[in-house]
Amino acid sequence: MDAKELKKWEAELNICIRCAYCFEGCPVYKELGWESDGARGKIVLSYGLFSGELESSEYIADKIFECTYCRDCVERCSANVSVPDILTAARTDLVNDGYKNEAHLELLDKIKDTGNIFGKELKSPVRNGEVPVLLGCRLLERTEDTKRYLEILEKLGIKPKVVDETCCGMPFGVLGYKDDLATHKEEFRRRFPYKKFICMCTTCVFFIRKNYPDLEAIYVIEEVVKRLPEVEHKKLGTKVTYHDPCNVARGMDMVDEPRSILKEIGVELVELPTSGKQAECCGGGGGLLVTNNPLAEKLAEKRVNQALEIGVDTLVTLCPTCEFNIGNVASKNSGKLKVKNLLDLVWESLK
């Protein structure tokens, strides 16, 4: 196999000292238990593909794609190795070598056909304000919630400008379709031609910051933290737990911001057994929801059980994908745990 993309990561692959520190918190390894399921194992497999000692195979592809991009490994790494970036290179090489996954292709076709991950004709809630706002596929689909979230911005003194946007292209990148991503990026820029904007979705903002370096994507939470204290709002007096989305806590180093919002709106926070940069992943990232849905749900189930064990009935989070995955499992289970977006609480407080 021509490991064209992995070759660019040779230095990084050599820098990995293979210490296995990245076993400690890797959610996939903790669930499945073979070394190839953990971050080091995946790096070793990537090395094998790069060096030619391994030929691509279904077995290897399963391992390389069974990763949530949670960055727990990066956080614990002895050498600051950017594991997800190496895995993206490996995924791209595997795809270029002919690897095909029906579920992946179906998802990408949906984006190509409709501009969103649901494959539905979704209408943007167009607004003609001043500050461009990117909603992202998941919020685009949640019309009612999104209306309220846009109202939050208005109450905070921001006049949102919403256009007929398209997907940021994350699934192309994460699933190894580099060329398709390049094409899609052009379409994204055409439909959403702004340099500086507010981004409502965690996944989009993190992806855009990495993949569109010329754009300035402000995460909605940064605005809420800044502006909420200046605006009249009430204390809610409720009790919740907060699940740190990987991209927020580890990816963008925002551990305190959501907590300060909860404090501001008078919500008591009961921490989960793992939180902040050590928070366990819900299983929803890195394409795992489509690659291995039962595994993604199993990881979410852990979070649901942890929340119930600490005695709360509401889990709030920020990432719409976490919300979807944990919420889906919570309702399938006992239905005892409500899953909400932190913005829902902000809206309550501003109402």
Partner 1 sequence: MEIKKVLVEIVGEENVRDALAELYVYGSDASIHRELPNVVVRPRTVEQIQKIIEYANNEIIPVIARGAGSGMSGHSVPIDHGIVLDMKGMNRILEIKCEDMYCRVESGVVDDDLNRAIKPFGVFYPPSPASSRIATIGGEIANNASGIRSVKYGATRDYVLGMKVVLADGEIVNLGGKTRVEAAGYQIHRLMVGSEGTLGIIVEATMKFIPLPKLRCLGMATFEKLEDAGNAIANIIASGAEPSMLELMDNIAIEAVNTAMKLGLPDVEAIILFEADGKVKEAVDFEMQGMKEICEKHDGKVTAMSYDAKERTKIYAGRKKLFPALSRYKEGFACTSLADDMAVPYSKMAECAMKIHEIAEKNGIIMTAYGHCGSGVMHTKILMDTTKKEQWEAAKNAVEEVYDYVDSIGGITSGEHGIALSKAPAWKRARKDLVEAMRKIKHALDPNNILNPHKLMDAPDDWLTATPIRYRVKE
Does residue 80 touch ligand FAD according to CB under 6 A? no
Q: Which is nearer to ligand SF4, 70 or 200 (CB)?
A: 70
Smallest distance, Å, CB 95 to ligand SF4? 18
Query: Which residues in 21-40 contact partner 1 (CB under 8 A)?
Result: 21, 23-24, 33-36
Smallest distance, Å, CB 8 to partner 1? 14
- Cα 130 from chain centroid? 27
Distances (CA, A) of 222 to 69, 94, 132, 164, 217: 23, 37, 15, 24, 11
Q: Annotate each residue in 78-117 with x if it binds partner 1 (CB under 8 A) or - if it does not, as one string.
A: xxx-------------------------------------
Considering only 14, 51, 78, 80, the residue that binds ligand FAD (CB under 6 A) is 78
CA-CA-CA-CA torsion for 241, 244, 248, 251, nearest 10 degrees? 170
Q: Which is nearer to ligand SF4, 241 or 247 (CB)?
A: 247
**∠ CA 251-252-257, rounded to 5°:** 130
Backbone angles phi, psi at 340, to 5 degrees: -130, 160
Does residue 310 touch ligand FAD according to CB under 6 A? no
Which range in 19-27, 65-73, 126-134, 236-244 contacts partner 1 by CB under 8 A?
A: 19-27
Does residue 41 touch partner 1 according to CB under 8 A? yes
Q: Which is nearer to ligand SF4, 9 or 69 (CB)?
A: 69
What does 63 interact with, of partner 1, ligand FAD, ligand SF4, none (CB < 5 to 8 A by kind)? partner 1
Residues in the chain: 351
Which long-range contacts does 297-303 make (Cβ < 8 Å, 24+ apart)? 297/325, 297/328, 297/329, 297/332, 298/31, 299/27, 299/31, 299/68, 300/325, 300/326, 300/328, 300/329, 300/330, 301/329, 301/333, 303/243, 303/272
Distances (CA, A) of 190 to 17, 128, 138, 193, 217: 43, 18, 20, 6, 16
Q: Which is nearer to ligand FAD, 33 or 193 (CB)?
A: 33
Size of the site for partner 1 (CB under 8 A): 33
Q: Which is nearer to ligand SF4, 78 or 334 (CB)?
A: 78
Residues at the contact surface with ligand FAD, assessed by CB under 6 A: 19, 78
